[in-house]
Structure 1
Amino acid sequence: MQIVWFKRDLRIQDNRALACAAQRGPVLPLYVVEPELWAQPDMSARQWAFIAESLTELADDLAQLGQPLIIHTGDVCDVLAELARTFGITYLWSHEETGNDWTFQRDKRVAQWCRANGIQWHEVQNHGVQRKLASRNGWADGWDRFMAEPVETVAAIKPVTNDPAVIPSLPLPPDQCPHRQLGGRSNGLERLESFLTQRGEHYRSEMSSPLEGATSCSRLSPHLAWGTLSMREVTQTTWQRQRDLIASPTPTGGWRKSMTSFNGRLHWHCHFIQKLEDDPKIEFENFHPAYNGIRPSEPDQTRLTAWENGETGLPFLDACMRCLRATGWLNFRMRAMVMATASYHLWLHWRDPGLALARMFTDYEPGIHWSQVQMQSGTTGINTVRIYNPVKQGYDQDPTGAFTRRWVPELAHLDDKILQEPWLSDDAGHILGCSYPEPIIDHKAAAKAAREKIWAVRKGDGFRAEADHIQNKHGSRKSGVRHRGQRPKKKSATKGAQLSFGFD
């Protein structure tokens, strides 16, 4: 008997673990609800709600193949032991998972249990992330080869048990997210189709806008994070769309540019997860050790709470945070800005706001998340120090004020020219501290102080040598970040390496 353990791969299509197991004989498809996982500080009820919806569709799909999904609650090793006693397990199949530290330690325990009980555990590659990678050289070519492999399907599974899948409710902290994306593969497929044929034409030009990006971005991120869609099928569908556009007799310039940009984002998705796969400690520790101790280890709770709740007195920042709380999603540039503001302007250690964002992101993908949290906090040592001006970003990315007014209605009556700076209003005395908070910081002075502290570290002895080591281990070979002694090119691609804060 074989068990296929579903984790971040909630689909039957292009599921290599399921396909390999089905070729060998009877299969028990298993999902384990792990209460201890959901007690971790980066997990939330909105994520579980998305998963529960996805499990409902997965259960239906598996039932049509012949064997319903079985769902157990508890510790994975205990669940496996129970199933082994009942069915006599010989093989355990799953996809490789690059999750948070808790899942990493859990997988170690599962591996030990399998060895002790004579069960072979086969973990297969899920996307472009490569386990036990010796060097980043050639990584992109490996990604291309993996994505070009045929999409695997399973026609039928021999029935073993007819126990119906019962999805439990979990006693998780309240997490109001009224506009959350719905889970389930059918919703993911609809998003993919509408993006590639309707919504995505202006992706390249509108992805930076929190208002326009909500429609023009793919919105596939939670489906890729929890695996209702595979990276391979999304990539291959995108490639086919690009071929169709090239062959089209009508002008498709906007579409073609947007699809090229989107295809690049698919590479970045796995590129960032690879960083956590290669170096799990980046969930907790600075990439570059020279930054150790630069920020207080304990957060200023007043600042952290104001930032989380969208009550900093900086309208555009507050609008972004309120939007995120209500929807579970934010476009890439605004994700970068809210994190950078927490780390630079509020001078918070990245770990605490990083956890808050992880809980709010329905599409939380640990590898992307913690890599980008550190990038936007200036602690990687190899990326551009980018300190966003939250006021300027408001004027630039929300010029009509529509986004800000939607999420910060207290300021809806202000003129566009001062919407992002309510302290300039003639009526400021009746607004600030009354209907809307006073700014908790002087954003210009805070940015200046942060820049000086960060650059003082970067100029220190030994900084460059360690940065070269980090670049060699983690850097994209196409990022434009130079190795020591490498001649600069006329055009650097460094800017492109900074853009993605996730899968947009």
Structure 2
Amino acid sequence: MIINGPKINLVWLKRDLRLEDNEAIFNSIASGKQTLLLYVFETILLEDNHYSERHWNFIKESIRDLNERLKPLNSKILSVEADMISVVNKLIEFYTVRDIYSHQETGILVTYNRDKAFKRYCKNNLIKWHENINNGVQRGLKNRDKWTELCNTYFEKEPLPFTPSKNQLLSIDEIENLEKVLSVPSLSTPKESPFQKGGRTTGLRYLNTFLNKRYENYMFHISKPELARKGCSRLSPYIAWGNLSIREVYRKAYILKQTSKHKKPLEAFMSRLRWQAHFIQKFEMEHTMQEESINKGFHKLKKDISKQYQDAWKSGQTGFPLIDACMRCLNETGYLNFRMRALVVSFFTHNLWQPWQECSQHLSRMFLDFEPGIHFPQLQMQAGETGTNMLRIYNPIKNGLEHDPEANFIKKWVPELKNLETPFAHEPYLMTQMEQQLYNFHLGEDYPNPIIDSEQTRKKASDTLWNLRKNTLVRTESNRILKKHTLRNK
């Protein structure tokens, strides 16, 4: 073991896989010390059911992209598979580490507990852990009295540059020496995949094509399951995993707005960037939302769990074409637009009458852009268990007719229905026996009958939830939630 080895700073990359506008990297470089950039594929996350291979591949692609950008500086990311404390223990056999930099992560409960343990570890080992604000989310707030002002301050600052001095980053040779004593995962990923590729280079390409032209249809296509695939920005995975910062995306949209003839779609887009920070802030202030409803009055709501219903929903075999198309599309590509996400959660929690917790991990594994601070508050809002938001129970047939009128999306993802006339593609269960013979289509064989009665289940859910909202505890909790999370400038 080397005692008092060369002094270095350590930057612990997590959901901030970028060099530019990365406060942890910026502050480490500003200190003047030599810096090692580290990403740890943590065992606790590799084994966690919220994540899947699509996430790890996106991260690996992001790291490979970072390594390409670091080549001219003769450096790269030290990528390790282990737990953070064991990695640091190994590093301090070679280097003196007194300062570790990272962003404040608003993550799932295992990362929250990991951070508490790591903070104790740093204190016991005389290491100062510098945690920086990420995307405007503030730690330690009791209410939203000053949040808007603090968030505005973040958004109004210039994005931070990446300007290390010569040889300030550990060299490739030095990092490869460390790799010999650590468990280094392969960064290879499938060459062909239906998922968006990770990395800042690709993220910037999506941003540029959106702001060059695609944004003009943003407001018209945002709710359409097929058109949204190009009409929306498609930046969510690059923001969720930190290839791009909210601030730099917001700033580019703001600059374009000054000269654009299409200001309204840009304003709508920028507003949603702000709401992203708002929802993550909500989760930051009430992390128990991962496992239980934020409104304690809904804890008494009991639903019978049906594995049959859940499996049909997960695999896109419910007999409701738009629901099935959405779930198959999500499972294969990792993406759905917001409206369709709300629709499938509403169907699961209201029509199938299943607890939102039962769909949480499947959706997090499928969403390429899984962001805990968005995921859990949105699940509860769509399930109608906040007591503060309007109860919305989406009609899958009505949404199909409105947002996929020609059934293009449905026929693409439910090919069993592709040869049917458009009305039947939306509601195949209306076909008579003669019509089924005419189309050589057999309901119950080629495509399932509806597994529930949508009108009856909608009424049951609506009556139950509206009655529960009259409960004293639900009302008390609603007032508490509003007091804690309502923006004071509203």
Instruction: Tell me, yes or no, whether TM beats 0.5.
Output: yes
With over 3 angstroms needed to count, the CA separation of the structure-2 counterparts of 1:350 and 1:91, relative to structure 1, is same
User: Which residue number corresponds to residue 160 of structure 1?
Assistant: 170
1:313 aligned residue: 319
Q: 2:21 — aligned with what?
A: 14
Matched residue type, 1:321: M
| Alignment partner, residue 274 of structure 2 | 267
Matching residue's letter, 1:471:
L
Q: Which residue in the other structure is 2:109 paired with?
A: 101
* Matching residue's letter, 2:312: A
Q: Which moved more, 1:456-465 or 1:77-86?
A: 456-465
Cα displacement string for residues 48-106 of structure 1 (whole angstroms, at most 9, x for unaligned residues):
11111001011222343343211121011010111112111010000111011111111
- Residue identity in the other structure for 2:253: T
SS state at 2:129 partner: strand
Within the candidate set 415, 418, 426, 2:424 is matched to: 418
Q: Which moved more, 1:284-293 or 1:343-352?
A: 284-293
Structure 1 match to 2:3: none
Distance 1:134 1:349 in 2: 29
Question: Which amino acid in structure 1 is aligned with residue 452 of structure 2?
Answer: I
2:297 to 279, 290, 293: 290
Q: What is the Cα deviation at residue 141 of structure 1?
A: 2.7
Conservation of the 8 A alpha-carbon contact between 1:52 and 1:167 = no
Q: Does 1:386 align with 2:396?
A: no
Aligned residues: 468
Q: Say yes or no: does 1:132 pair with 2:140.
A: yes
Cα distance in 1, alignment partners of residues 408 and 345 from structure 2: 22
- Counterpart of 2:38 in 1: which secondary structure? strand
Match of 1:239 among 254, 278, 281: 254
The AA in structure 2 aligned to 1:103 is: T
Structure 1 residue aligned with 2:240? 225
1:29, 1:67 within 8 Å by CA — same for their partners in 2? no
Q: Secondary structure at the match of 2:444?
A: coil
Alignment of 1:87-486 (within 5 A): 87-157=95-165, 158-161=168-171, 162=173, 163-164=175-176, 168-169=185-186, 178-245=193-260, 252=261, 255-296=262-303, 299-426=305-432, 427-428=435-436, 430-477=441-488
Distance 1:478 1:182, change over 3 A: farther
Do 2:320 and 2:396's aligned partners in 1 also have CA atoms closer than 8 Å?
yes
1:434-460 CA-to-partner distances (Å, cap 9, x unmatched) read 010111100111101111110110012
CA contact (8 A) 2:60 2:188 kept: no
Q: Please tell me whether the aligned partners of residues 65 and 155 of structure 1 are also in contact (alpha carbons under 8 angstroms).
A: no
Alpha carbon RMSD of aligned pairs, Å?
2.0
Q: Quick one: structure 1 residues 477 and 273, their matched pair in 2 at CA, closer, same or farther if it must change by over 3 Å? A: same
**Cα deviation digits, residues 253-296 of structure 1 (max 9, x gap):** xx211001001000010100011100110000111111113133
Gaps of 5+ in 2: 1-7
Whole-Å Cα distance in 1 between the matches of residues 44 and 111 of structure 2? 10
State whether residues 66 and 156 of structure 1, in contact with CA within 8 Å, keep that contact through their aligned partners in structure 2: no
For the residues of structure 2 that align with 1:229 and 1:160, how far apart are their CA atoms?
Answer: 24
On the 8 A contact 1:63/1:69 being kept in 2, the answer is no
Of 413-422 and 304-313, the range deviating more from structure 2? 413-422
What is the aligned-residue identity percentage?
38
- 1:267 aligned partner, one-letter code: R
Q: Distance in 2 between matches of 1:343 and 1:181?
A: 29
Q: Distance in 1 between matches of 2:194 and 2:445?
A: 28
Mapped partners of 1:81, 1:382: distance in 2: 47
Q: Distance in 2 between matches of 1:133 and 1:306?
A: 42
Is contact 2:296-2:473 (8 Å) kept? no
Q: Partners of 2:489 and 2:445 in 1: how far apart?
A: 50
User: 1:466 and 1:409 mapped to 2: Cα distance?
Assistant: 46
Residue aligning to 1:59: 67
Q: Which digits, 9 at most, give the CA deviation of each residue in 1:231-266, with x for residues without a partner? A: 111111111011122xxxxxx2xx211001001000
From 73, 85, 93, the counterpart of 2:81: 73
Q: How much has 1:186 moved relative to structure 2?
A: 0.7
Tell me the alpha carbon deviations over residues 367-390 of structure 1, each in whole angstroms, 9 at most, x when there is no partner.
100000000001111001000011
| 1:26-65 superposed matches below 5 A | 26-65=34-73
Change beyond 3 A, Cα 1:399–1:477: farther
Task: Provide the secondary structure at the position in 2 that maps to 1:30.
Answer: strand
Q: Is the 8 A contact 1:287 1:381 kept in 2?
A: no
Residue deviations 1:218-242 (CA, integer Å, cap 9, x gap): 0000000000111111111111011
Label 1:145 to 1:132 Cα distance change in 2 as closer, same or farther (>3 A).
same
Amino acid at match of 2:238: H
Distance 1:462 1:124 in 2: 37
Q: Under a length normalisation based on structure 1, what TM-score does the superposition of the two structures give?
A: 0.89
Which secondary structure state, in structure 1, belongs to the residue aligned with residue 153 of structure 2?
helix
- Kindly state the Cα deviation for residue 191 of structure 1 after the two structures are TM-superposed: 0.5
Correspondence for 1:496:
none
Q: 1:191 to 1:326 in 2, by over 3 A?
A: same
Contact 1:320–1:334 (CA<8 Å) still a contact in 2? yes
The amino acid of 1:160's aligned partner reads: L
**TM-score normalized by structure 2?**
0.92
Q: Unaligned 5+ residue runs, structure 1?
A: 246-251, 480-504
The whole-number CA distance in structure 2 between the counterparts of 1:225 and 1:413 is 38
- Quote the offset at 1:422 in angstroms: 0.6
Structure 1 pair 439/178, CA: closer, same or farther in 2 (3 Å)? farther
Provide the rounded CA distance (Å) in 1 between the counterparts of 2:248 and 2:34. Answer: 26
